[in-house]
Amino acid sequence: MSVSKKIRVLIIDDHELVRQELVTNLGRDRGLEIVGDTGDPDEATRWAKERDPDVIVLDVRREDKGGVELVRRLSESGNDCAVLILTSYVSRDEWLEAEQAGARACVLKQIDSKGLVDKIKALAHAF
């Protein structure tokens, strides 16, 4: 990935308020480009193919209980991107399951904006 290229980020969370806050906070960083935000798993899978994100920020603790399956779908979508789990809580077993499904990293929602931006950049540059 070129140093001057913006990192393309897709945000997936089933809570609209959380998505809006992430779009606002992450969008302030000149090195990031938000290519979409959605709570719908089908739309997320389609956008992962169409919008070519470098990093997908995803909460696996979804009301529909399909978070790990969504990680799997995104990882198998054919897009070479990193899935970053952003969640309020994750057990060791849940993380291992998400990692086996294709997640690259996990951070808790208690992280500050700078820490999250730094993690996204590190993941994008590791790919």
Residues 78-102, mean pLDDT to the nearest whole number: 89
The pLDDT tens digits of the residues spanning 37-67 come to: 999 999 999 999 999 999 999 988 776 667 8
DSSP H helices, the chain, are 16-27, 41-50, 67-75, 92-101, 113-126
The pLDDT tens digits of the residues spanning 10-41 come to: 999 999 999 999 999 999 999 999 999 999 99
Domains in the chain, CATH or no CATH each: 7-126 (3.40.50.2300)
Check whether 103 has a pLDDT greater than 60: yes
Of 52, 103, 36, residue with least CA distance to 73: 103
Element (H, E) at 66: none
Strand partners, 16: none
The pairing of beta strand 103-108 with beta strand 55-58: unpaired
Element (H, E) at 31: none
**pLDDT, averaged across the chain:** 90
